[in-house]
């Protein structure tokens, strides 16, 4: 497959280079005030210098040469990259309206058709996001009722860990199942058994799709969508999308047949009620089936992948740093005792809170961030950026900003502690991004991470498999849109 792609790109490069020779070079027409960047080659742009497995790493290196605002070109697409806390805060928070659009990336457009929330645009995005935030709050996000759901799921996960009796096991599947059950409880008002084959298939589709979305071949497709027939990856992603859509459609039909406007049970019910109200006003603008399908899929994939990947890092890091794990467990014992940990305990547990925050910072599970686009022409940091410019606010550059963190490349919980051992907030803590495109499930995600983490460390000592030392743990990041660690086996020894 690699040689087919290479020959195709070479052929296309030669063809377009000849056309450029006749028509003149369009890259010369760029504004002189456009951000600086490496010189692009015809057709391929800066592809030759990009690490397609870790494009965020290449961008970090380029920022050292060109500064916090620079341009790259991937294929024919010019992209402005923003790096560092101050620059990204200025763009996403201080100029939120200007940088609020979503860039039209080919696979995102194929996947969503512009519907839902994550990849949608303009007024459709605003309406769907507003509805999603309101509905998530209605179903308990940030409330004790949601904490009770999470606590119940924590107890199921603890029991599952107990079945292995301290022997090594693959923990990622069951942790992903537990996390998925939280978002499923909101979407459908139910939970699944961890061994339910249909449920396993469902969250496996989410995990695989997130991995494929960030793969090298997908990036090539996004640069050269006309060569899509050569790549199996976008075809696989769209196959997964059809299977996810079939699941949503089946549950949508069930909800529709049992709908009671005065007793909504889940997210789908609330959407259908809103849809009927919109029809009564003869305003059939946004609450149609396509937006329902995409919104549910957005919530399911995002709600599964980001939290589960962060927990994978949390457990791997606790095995890597057993003294930190022991200190967390001592604080849990002293503050919580043997009752179920709740979100309300966080304020009394500064060290544990600091560790959880540092896990999220260090894990950096979406290093590239979702791409933005400008809504108007803007002068930014001394450069002119036209309307509809593709913009990457590089999230990893904030979470690893050397001007903001004492030890940005190390796991160091003291980042979030003062000299008295009290928890301190850090402005550069942006694992869920910032501004108008901030993850709608931020509050839910933070609560899940804290409660799953403390519930398991309350009951178990996490260790590498026999024969492995903490130095043997694979701390490399997986290749994908989310970047969990490659470690997948642990031993959970009962504490009591």
List Cα–Cα distances, 376 to 77, 81, 253, in angstroms: 18, 17, 41
Going by C-alpha positions, the residue among 88, 123, 135 that lies closest to residue 438 is 88
Given a cut of 90, whether residue 80 has pLDDT beyond it is yes
Please state which CATH class domain 1-494 belongs to. Answer: mainly alpha
Cβ-count burial of 273 within 10 angstroms (0-12 exposed, 13-18 middle, 19+ buried)? middle
The mean pLDDT value for 267-294 works out to 88
The fraction of the chain above a pLDDT of 70, given in percent, is: 93
Mean per-residue pLDDT of the chain = 92
Residue with tokens 């996004």: 222
d(C-alpha 97, C-alpha 322), whole Å: 45
The mean pLDDT value for 350-364 works out to 98
Looking only at the bridges linking them, the beta strands covering 489-494 and 101-102 are: unpaired
d(C-alpha 332, C-alpha 347), whole Å: 12
d(C-alpha 102, C-alpha 116), whole Å: 12
The mean pLDDT value for 165-182 works out to 97
Q: What is residue 27's predicted lDDT score, i.e. its pLDDT?
A: 40
pLDDT in tens, 190-210: 999 999 999 999 999 999 999
179 — pLDDT class (breaks 50, 70, 90)? very high
- The two three-digit tokens of residue 193, written as one number: 């058994």
More confident residue, 10 or 397: 397
The mean pLDDT value for 3-15 works out to 52
140 — pLDDT class (breaks 50, 70, 90)? confident
Longest dimension (CA), the chain: 77
Given a cut of 90, whether residue 144 has pLDDT beyond it is no
Going by C-alpha positions, the residue among 76, 19, 5, 10 that lies closest to residue 228 is 5
d(C-alpha 256, C-alpha 207), whole Å: 28
d(C-alpha 27, C-alpha 24), whole Å: 9
CA 460 to chain centre: 28
Q: Is 154 annotated as a binding residue?
A: no
Q: Where along the chain do its domains lie?
A: 1-494
Given a cut of 70, whether residue 350 has pLDDT beyond it is yes
Given a cut of 50, whether residue 26 has pLDDT beyond it is no
**What are the φ and ψ backbone dihedral angles of 80, each rounded to 5 degrees?**
-95, 125
Going by C-alpha positions, the residue among 95, 68, 125, 119 that lies closest to residue 371 is 119
Least confident of 26-30, 122-126, 153-157, 457-461: 26-30
Q: What is the pTM of this model?
A: 0.93
The mean pLDDT value for 346-355 works out to 98
Question: Which residues are within 8 A (CB) of 76 and not within 5 positions of it... i.e. 6 or more apart?
Answer: 43, 45, 223
d(C-alpha 289, C-alpha 272), whole Å: 9
14 — pLDDT class (breaks 50, 70, 90)? low
Q: What is the DSSP string of 403-467?
A: TT-SSTTS--GGGGB-TTS-B---TT--TT--GGGS-TTHHHHHHHHHHHHHHHHHHEEEEPPTT
Given a cut of 80, whether residue 281 has pLDDT beyond it is no
Least confident of 111-120, 255-264, 316-325: 255-264
The mean pLDDT value for 445-452 works out to 97
Q: What is residue 288's predicted lDDT score, i.e. its pLDDT?
A: 93
The Cα angle at residue 494 between residues 490 and 495, in degrees rounded to 5: 120
Q: What is the DSSP string of 377-399?
A: -EEETTEEE-TT-EEEE-HHHHH
11 — pLDDT class (breaks 50, 70, 90)? low
List Cα–Cα distances, 138 to 135, 187, 255, 284, in angstroms: 5, 12, 18, 24
């Amino acid at each position: 497959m690699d040689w087919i792609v290479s020959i195709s790109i070479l052929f296309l490069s030669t063809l377009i280079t000849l056309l450029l020779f006749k028509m003149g070079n369009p890259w010369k027409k760029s504004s002189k005030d456009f951000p600086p960047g490496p010189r692009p080659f015809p057709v391929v742009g800066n592809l030759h210098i990009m690490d397609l497995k870790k494009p965020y790493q290449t961008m970090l290196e380029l920022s050292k040469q060109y500064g916090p605002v620079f341009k790259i070109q991937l294929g024919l697409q010019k992209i402005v990259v923003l790096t560092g806390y101050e620059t990204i805060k200025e763009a996403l928070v201080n100029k939120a309206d200007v940088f609020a659009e979503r860039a039209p990336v080919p696979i995102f457009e194929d996947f969503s058709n512009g519907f839902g929330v994550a990849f949608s645009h303009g007024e459709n995005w605003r309406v769907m996001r507003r509805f999603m935030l309101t509905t998530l709050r209605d179903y308990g996000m940030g409330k004790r009722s949601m904490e009770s759901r999470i606590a119940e799921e924590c107890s199921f996960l603890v029991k599952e860990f107990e079945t292995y009796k301290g022997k090594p096991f693959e923990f990622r599947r069951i942790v992903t199942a537990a996390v998925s059950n939280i978002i499923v409880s909101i979407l459908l008002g139910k939970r699944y058994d961890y061994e339910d084959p249909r449920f396993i298939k469902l969250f496996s589709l989410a995990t695989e799709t997130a991995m494929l979305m960030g793969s090298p071949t997908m990036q090539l497709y996004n640069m050269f969508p006309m060569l899509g027939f050569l790549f199996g990856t976008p075809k696989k992603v769209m196959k997964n999308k059809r299977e996810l859509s079939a699941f949503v459609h089946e549950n949508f039909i069930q909800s529709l047949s049992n709908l009671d406007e005065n007793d909504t049970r889940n997210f789908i019910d609330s959407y259908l009620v809103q849809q009927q109200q919109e029809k009564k006003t003869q305003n059939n603008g946004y609450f149609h089936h396509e937006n329902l399908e995409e919104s549910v899929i957005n919530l399911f994939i995002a709600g599964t992948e980001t939290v589960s990947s962060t927990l994978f890092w949390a457990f791997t890091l606790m095995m890597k740093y057993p003294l930190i794990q022991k200190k967390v467990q001592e604080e849990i014992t002293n503050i919580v005792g043997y009752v179920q940990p709740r979100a309300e305990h966080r304020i009394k547990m500064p060290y544990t809170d600091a560790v959880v925050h540092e896990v999220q910072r260090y894990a950096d599970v979406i290093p590239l961030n979702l791409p933005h686009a400008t809504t108007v022409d803007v002068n930014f940091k001394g450069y002119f950026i036209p309307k509809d410019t593709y913009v990457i606010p590089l999230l990893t550059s904030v979470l690893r900003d050397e001007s903001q963190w004492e030890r940005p490349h190390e796991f160091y919980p003291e980042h979030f502690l003062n000299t008295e051992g009290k928890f301190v907030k850090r402005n550069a803590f942006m694992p869920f991004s910032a501004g108008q495109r901030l993850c709608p499930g931020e509050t839910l995600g933070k609560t899940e991470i804290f409660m799953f983490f403390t519930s398991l460390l309350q009951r178990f000592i996490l260790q590498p498999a026999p024969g492995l030392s903490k130095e043997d743990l694979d701390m490399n990041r997986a290749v994908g849109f989310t970047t969990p660690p490659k470690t997948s086996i642990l031993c959970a020894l009962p504490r009591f």
